[in-house]
């Protein structure tokens, strides 16, 4: 498919600078661009590439001022990154959509399937499952008894949803994710094997949630584990039983949250962040990568390190740690001077 600069600008509510009839048929990165493609400039660190790019159209910020003549057509927008997201969404939705039920697959006679769904081969739909409209369930997906899946949700190949869980509308769950496995609950017995605590709750996932590949979300011991509206989880994340994950919170890969922790709205978690159980993380908090949070955080906290501490204080500590070899050498030299003075007295 080909699109002109004028067409793209109309879609993005942008302004064309250059030849509005310039056409592109694909998208490329600005530092690896190709002719007849569209690219974008969002990060200032990549500005140098706009002067050498072979891309035909570049999306830039409205305030961008080039230092020399450009060979490409520009589309000026408020936010190039958001504009790219809009364009990619349009591209994906313009592709042909899968529909129908492939065989072999199993659908319980008590299940309810919405209109315009796609059910891939070897999928399993359990008893009393309710599937909404326009849902896409790819091959080898398992959906247990009494599960609810909202309209326009996508479950990619290999997703497993245990019984009694609920998934909202317009969610995307990537391959290998497991929703509703047992929480890690065992009662210690003195000198004997642990006794398993049965996990009889479920997982409730809100609307517009995206869950990455091989991420696991455990069912509650009792009640529900909550993933609220707008949450975005990267690959390889562990969410334990009875966690309540607030709206529009984002977690990078390999983060882990222990049981019964409550996390507020609009929080950001770096990769490999580890959160202890039975604590609270306030709204708008930012947790740095590899941080170990062991106690409750107030709203708008910004922490780093293990154990996690205020970001600025932690950076000062790291600065001191980097200077420790020189400090050690200085102390050794001072000790030698003191011994020399003492010997000469």
Cα 275 to Cα 258: distance, rounded to the nearest angstrom: 6
The 3-state DSSP class for residue 21 equals: coil
Q: What residues pair up with 166 in beta bridges, in sequence order?
A: 148, 204
C-alpha torsion sign, points 305, 309, 312, 314: negative
Of 212, 276, 213, 206, the C-alpha closest to 248 is 206
Contact predicate 44/30, CB 8 Å: no
Tokens of 163: 């019984």
To which residue do tokens 């899968």 refer?
Answer: 98
Cα 162 to Cα 274: distance, rounded to the nearest angstrom: 25
The 3-state DSSP class for residue 324 equals: helix
Report the alpha-carbon angle 118-119-120, nearest 5: 115
The one catalytic residue among 140, 174, 241, 278 = 241
Cα 221 to Cα 182: distance, rounded to the nearest angstrom: 8
Cα 272 to Cα 255: distance, rounded to the nearest angstrom: 4
Clarify whether 241 is annotated catalytic.
Answer: yes
The alpha carbons of the chain give a radius of gyration, in whole angstroms, of: 27
In 237-288, at which residue ranges do the beta strands (DSSP E only) sit? Answer: 238-239, 244-245, 250-251, 256-257, 262-263, 268-269, 274-275, 280-281, 286-287
CA 286 to chain centre: 14
Phi, psi of 117 (to 5 degrees): -95, 160
Tokens of 247: 């709206």
Contact predicate 177/200, CB 8 Å: no
Cα 329 to Cα 326: distance, rounded to the nearest angstrom: 5
Contact predicate 80/60, CB 8 Å: yes
Active site residues: 241
């Amino acid at each position: 498919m080909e699109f002109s600069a004028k067409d793209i600008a109309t879609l993005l509510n942008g302004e064309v600078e250059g030849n509005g009839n310039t056409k592109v048929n694909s998208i490329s990165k600005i530092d690896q661009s190709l002719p007849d493609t569209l690219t974008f400039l969002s990060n200032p660190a990549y500005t140098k590439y706009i002067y050498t790019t072979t891309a035909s159209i570049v999306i830039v910020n409205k305030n961008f001022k080039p230092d020399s003549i450009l060979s490409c057509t520009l589309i000026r927008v408020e936010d190039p990154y958001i504009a790219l997201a809009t364009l990619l969404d349009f591209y994906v939705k313009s592709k042909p959509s899968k529909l129908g039920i492939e065989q072999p697959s199993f659908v319980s006679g008590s299940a309810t399937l919405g209109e315009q769904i796609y059910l891939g081969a070897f999928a399993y739909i359990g008893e009393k499952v309710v599937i909404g409209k326009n849902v896409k369930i790819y091959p080898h997906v398992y959906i247990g008894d009494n599960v609810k899946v909202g309209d326009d949700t996508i479950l990619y190949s290999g997703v497993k949803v245990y019984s009694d869980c609920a998934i909202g509308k317009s969610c995307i769950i990537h391959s290998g994710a497991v929703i509703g496995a047992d929480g890690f609950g065992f009662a210690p017995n003195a000198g004997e094997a642990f006794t398993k605590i049965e996990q009889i709750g479920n997982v409730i996932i809100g609307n517009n949630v995206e869950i990455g590949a091989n991420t696991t979300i455990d069912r509650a011991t009792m009640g529900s584990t909550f993933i609220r509206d707008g949450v975005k989880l990267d690959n390889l994340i562990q969410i334990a039983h009875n966690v309540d994950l607030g709206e529009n919170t984002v977690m990078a890969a390999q983060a882990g949250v222990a049981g019964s922790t409550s996390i507020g709205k609009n929080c950001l978690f770096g990769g490999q962040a580890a959160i202890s159980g039975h604590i609270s993380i306030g709204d708008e908090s930012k947790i740095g990568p590899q941080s170990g949070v062991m106690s409750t955080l107030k709203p708008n906290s910004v922490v780093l390190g293990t154990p996690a501490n205020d970001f600025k204080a932690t950076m000062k500590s790291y600065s001191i740690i980097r200077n420790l070899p020189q400090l050690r050498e200085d102390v050794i030299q001072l000790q030698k001077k003191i011994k020399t003075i003492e010997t000469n007295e």
